[in-house]
Amino acid sequence: MINIKKISKRKNVDYFLVALTIVIGFYLGWAVLKVALLTFVVWQILYPLPSKTLAKAIIFALLLFPALVITNFNNRSEDAGVLVFCLLVATLIMTIVEFVKLDKTSPIE
């Protein structure tokens, strides 16, 4: 008999969703970077990183971008550009989410 209790453990469901995302990405014929970005989006929904961490990641990716251009890794620099854009969108969304949460929890004057 299926043990619903065991299956429904949150972590198991989350890992299943992440695995499903990777399988769907590969099934659709996406490149590895695109599959990784989709998985990142799903992971961010499940276990959101704070906007501060994401902003730090943007700075790192922005530094990476010119370094790759200088070292002639043009394809990789394009990938870094895409990564910066995605992180920027994620940071913006997380900032709004955090702001709304803060607004709800702050005492009414």
Of 14 and 58, CB closest to another protein: 14
Secondary element (H or E) of residue 89:
helix 74-105
* Sites of contact with another protein (CB under 8 A): 4-5, 8, 10, 13, 17, 20-21, 24-32, 34-35, 38, 41-42, 45-46, 75
Exposed/middle/buried for 80, CB within 10 Å: 0-12, 13-18, 19+? Answer: buried
Min separation Cβ 5 and another protein, Å: 4
Could you tell me how many residues make up the chain? 109
Min separation Cβ 8 and another protein, Å: 4
Min separation Cβ 22 and another protein, Å: 10
CB 65 within 8 A of CB 81: yes
What are the two backbone dihedrals, phi and then psi, of residue 106, each rounded to the nearest 5 degrees?
-70, 140
Token pair recorded at residue 57: 């990641």
Of 56 and 73, CB closest to another protein: 73
Of 39 and 95, CB closest to another protein: 39
